[in-house]
Amino acid sequence: MGPTPKPSALRQRRNRVSTAATLPAAGTASGRTAPPLPERGKGEKPWHPETLAYWAVIWASEMAGEYLDADVPGLVGLMKMQDEFNYGDVRMAAEIRLQRQCFGLTPIDRRRLQWETGKVEDAERRRPKGGVIPQPTRRNDPRKGLALVK
């Protein structure tokens, strides 16, 4: 089993980088409103409904508070690619995947940017004080259900 891990506040080496941030928990207003997507010109298809929904989700997410005004053109470019994909151009998938990384739109990208959501803080608060994890009693021991397989 080994020793219980130290509480995160006591760890000496955190390996934090300049992009590290704690994002507000879901449902907390980030203070940012979604900027409008550019109007489409004559002869262009209207924005696909899935693209509009994705745009709204991005700006309602925890990450919206981290975006600068300088990030908006990149996000609009991503939405243009997403729109082409939604209209059937599957060749855009690889480029969309690469561009999403820049904005922390997937869990692994947020991990790489060291963006943590409020969920992590909630888990830290629920952890028993002193780093002691209660050991199972005989009554609720999960190992009781284990059996030797021959």
CA angle 102/24/101 to nearest 5° reads: 10
Rounded Cα distance between 86 and 54, Å, is: 11
| pLDDT of the residue at 71 | 94
Q: For the chain, which residues make up each domain, given as ranges?
A: 22-122
Tell me the residue type at 31.
G
Rounded Cα distance between 92 and 81, Å, is: 6
| pLDDT of the residue at 17 | 59
Query: How would you write the pLDDT of the chain (150 residues) with one tens digit per residue?
Result: 788 888 877 776 666 556 667 777 655 555 678 899 999 989 999 999 999 999 999 999 888 888 999 999 999 999 999 999 999 999 999 999 999 998 989 889 888 888 887 665 555 666 666 656 666 676 777 777 788 888
Per the CB < 8 A criterion, the answer to whether 105 and 62 are in contact is no
| pLDDT of the residue at 146 | 83
Give the closest residue to 67 by CA, choosing from 32, 118, 29, 110. Answer: 32
Give the closest residue to 120 by CA, choosing from 4, 20, 17. Answer: 20
